[in-house]
Amino acid sequence: MSATMRKFQLCLAILLTAAVVLPVAAQDFLTIGSVSAPAGTRVSVPVSVRDVSGTAIGTDAIAGRKIQAFSFRVLITPAAAATNVTFERAGVIQSLTPLYERSHTGIGSTAYLASFPEGTQTIPFVSGAAAPGNRIGTLSLTIGAALAAGTKITLAFDQNLTALSNQAGTLTETTFNRRLKIVPGTVTVGGSPTTTTLASSMNPATAGDSVTFTATVTSGTPGDIGGTMYFLVAGNVVATSAVTVGQASWTTTALAPGTHSVTARYEGSGVYQPSTSAPLSQVVSTPVIAAPTGVTATATGSTAIAVSWNAVGSAASYEILRSSNGLPYEVAGTSATTSFNDPGRTPGTTYLYVVRSVTAAAQKSARSALDGATTVVFTNQPLAAGVPVRLEHLEQLRTAVNAWRAAAGLTAFAFTDPSPTTATIVKRVHLEQLRAALAPARTALGLSAIGYTDPTLTETTRIKAVHVAQLRSAVQ
C-alpha cells in the first residue's frame, strides 16, 4: 500500500470518528403555531424563533455573530386546502427596517427572505425565552370553503430553503449543521367558537398612569384555553401576550391624553377559534403638573438605594415607584423633598425607579424617565489603573449584569467559564459577553446604548481599568 493511500485512509478514519462523536449542538427553534378556524375564513398563524442560550449566533453572542437574517419556505399540505397564503413581519422584527426583504407566494407555499443591519436594527431576541420564543411574523391564509370540519392542513418548513444567519451570512443555522430545529404547525378546520372580552384597570386614567388591559377568552368547550392575544389601539397592533387559562394582559404607561379605542383579538389555537372583543373606550386625561427630571438612583450599599431628582415648582410632594425582576412598578414611598432613601433591598438586585410630581390636590404628573441601581458593592472602587484583575471583579460584574437582565424581564446570560476560579484568566470574551449581555437589557428598558472605550476588542487589545470601570458605571 502506498504512503499516499495510507495517509488517505488515516484522514478518512479521523473524519468518520469525528462524525460519530460529534456532540449535538444547542439548537435554536423556528416554529409555526397551530390554530383552528371555520372553513371559508381567513386565519392567522404565528411564526416564532426561540434563541437558545449557547448557540453559535444567538443574541447572547458577540457583535457580528447575532441572528439578523431569515430565509424560509413554508409548504402547505394539501396544497389546494388554502389560498392567498402570505407572511408579514410581526413581534420583534415588526418595527425594524430591513436591509433586504422579499416574499413570494406560490401554489401551496409561501417564502420569505430578509436581512436586518446589526446595531441600529439589532433584533431584540430574548435568549432562553420559553417556547415558542419570540414572534417574528404571521402566516395568513384563507381556508377552503368546501373543507369538512376536522380537516387538518399542515404548514411545514422546507428544510432545504430554511436558515437563520448573521447579517453578513457568514454564519448560519440550518437543520443540516444541527444548529436549527424546525417545528411545523397545523390549521384545523372547525374548532370551538370563543368569545373575547376586554377590561381596563383604570378608566379614566391620567397620562403616565399604569393601565392594565385584561382580555378573557371563554368557550362552550371546557379546557385550558391558550394561544396568543393581540392588543390593538385604533386598529393597530401595539402588543401581544400569551393566553394562559383563558386570560392575557397588557400593561402600559404610554397612552397619550385623549380617548382611545382598544380591542383584544384572540388568535385562536389548535382547539379554539379566533375571536375579537368589542372596542373599549379608554379615556386618558392630561396631567396638570410636570414630571420630575434628572432622576438618579444610586446604591449606597448591598441593601439600600438613594434616589434623587430635580424639583418641580408646583409639586407638594413626590411619589416614588420601584420595579425589580421584570415586575410591574409599585409605590416605594413618597417624599416632600427631592430625595428618597430606600432601605431593605435585596443584595445583587437591580431596582428601577421613576418619580411622579403630586399637587396639593393629589393630582399626579406623568412618570419621569427611569433610572436603575444595582445592590452590588464592587471591590476596588474606584478602580485605578495598575490594579490586577481579580476573580471578584468578574463575578461582581456578572451578578450586576444579570440583575439588569432580570429587571428588564430577560433570562440570565450563559457566560463562558460559568464557574471561574482564581486560576481563571480573564479574557477578551469575558468583556465582550458582559457588554453583549447588558445591551439588550438597556434596549428593553428604553435606555441609550453605552459608548465604550475600544468598542471592538481584538486579540491585541489589553484589558484596561476603563473597560471594567465603564461596565460598573453602566450597572450601578
Kindly state the DSSP code that residue 386 receives in the 8-state scheme: T
DSSP string covering 185-226, please?
Answer: EEEEES-B-EEEEEEESSSSEETT--EEEEEEEEESS-S---
The SS3 call for residue 30 is strand
113/136 Cα distance (integer angstroms):
12
336/318 Cα distance (integer angstroms):
6
| Amino acid sitting at position 338 | T
DSSP string covering 332-358, please?
Answer: EEEESSSEEEE-SPPTT-EEEEEEEEE
CB neighbours of residue 18 within 10 Å: 9
Q: Give the CA angle between residues 140, 235, 285 to the nearest 5°.
A: 155
**What grid cell was written down for 63?**
457583535
Residue with cell 424617565: 369
Provide CB contacts within 8 A for 447, sequence distance 6+. 370
pLDDT recorded at residue 10 = 41
pLDDT recorded at residue 410 = 85
Q: Determine which helix (DSSP H) or strand (DSSP E) holds 372, and give its type and residue range.
A: strand 371-374
178/337 Cα distance (integer angstroms):
59
pLDDT recorded at residue 180 = 94
pLDDT recorded at residue 25 = 55
Backbone angles phi, psi at 362, to 5 degrees: 70, 20
pLDDT recorded at residue 444 = 86
Query: What residue ranges define each of the domains in the chain, with the CATH number in brackets?
Result: 28-189 (2.60.40.680), 194-285 (2.60.40.10), 296-374 (2.60.40.10), 391-475 (no CATH)
State the pairing for strand pair 205-206/280-285. parallel
Could you give the C-alpha distances from 158 to 11, 48, 313, in angstroms and in order?
34, 16, 63
Kindly state the DSSP code that residue 214 receives in the 8-state scheme: E
Q: Give the CA angle between residues 234, 235, 237 to the nearest 5°.
A: 105
Per-10-residue mean pLDDT, the chain, length 476: 45 38 66 93 93 77 86 95 92 91 90 91 83 90 93 96 92 92 95 96 91 96 90 88 93 93 93 94 94 95 96 96 93 97 96 96 92 92 80 91 92 85 83 89 88 84 84 89
CB neighbours of residue 66 within 10 Å: 25
291/256 Cα distance (integer angstroms):
14
- Whether the CB-CB separation of 467 and 389 falls below 8 Å is answered with no
**467 torsion bin: left (phi>0), alpha (psi -120 to 50), beta (else):** alpha
Q: Per-residue pLDDT tens for 442-462?
A: 988 888 888 898 888 887 878
**What grid cell was written down for 65?**
455573530
Strand ranges, E, within 132-184: 134-143, 152-157, 163-165, 172-173, 180-183
241/252 Cα distance (integer angstroms):
13
